[in-house]
Amino acid sequence: MRHASAGRRLGRKTSHRIAMFRNMVTSFFDHEKITTTDSKAKELRPIAEKLITLAKRGDLHARRQAAAYIRDTKTVAKLFTQIAPRYQDREGGYTRIIKLGIRPGDNAEISIIELVEEALVKKSPSSKPVKSVPVAVVPAVVLKQTDEVAVTAVAEDNCEASAD
Q: Note the pLDDT of residue 5.
A: 84
Give CA 35 to chain center in angstroms: 15
- Name residues whose C-beta falls within 8 Å of residue 112's C-beta, 6 or more positions apart in sequence: 33, 34, 35, 41, 97, 98, 100
User: pLDDT tens across 99-142, in order?
Assistant: 999 999 999 999 999 999 876 666 677 666 667 766 666 666 66
3.40.30.10, 3.90.1030.10, 3.30.1330.10, 3.40.190.10: CATH of 14-115: 3.90.1030.10
Ranges of residues in the chain whose predicted pLDDT is under 70: 119-123, 126-130, 133-164
The DSSP secondary-structure symbol of 124 reads P
CA angle 43, 46, 50 (to 5 degrees): 145
54 in Cβ contact with 47 (< 8 Å): no
Q: Note the pLDDT of residue 7.
A: 86
pTM: 0.70
How far is it, in rounded angstroms, from Cα 12 to Cα 35? Answer: 19
* Radius of gyration in angstroms for the set of CA atoms belonging to the chain, rounded to a whole number: 29
45 in Cβ contact with 113 (< 8 Å): yes
Domain ranges of the chain: 14-115
Can you point out the beta strands (E) in the chain? Answer: 33-37, 95-102, 109-115
101 in Cβ contact with 86 (< 8 Å): no
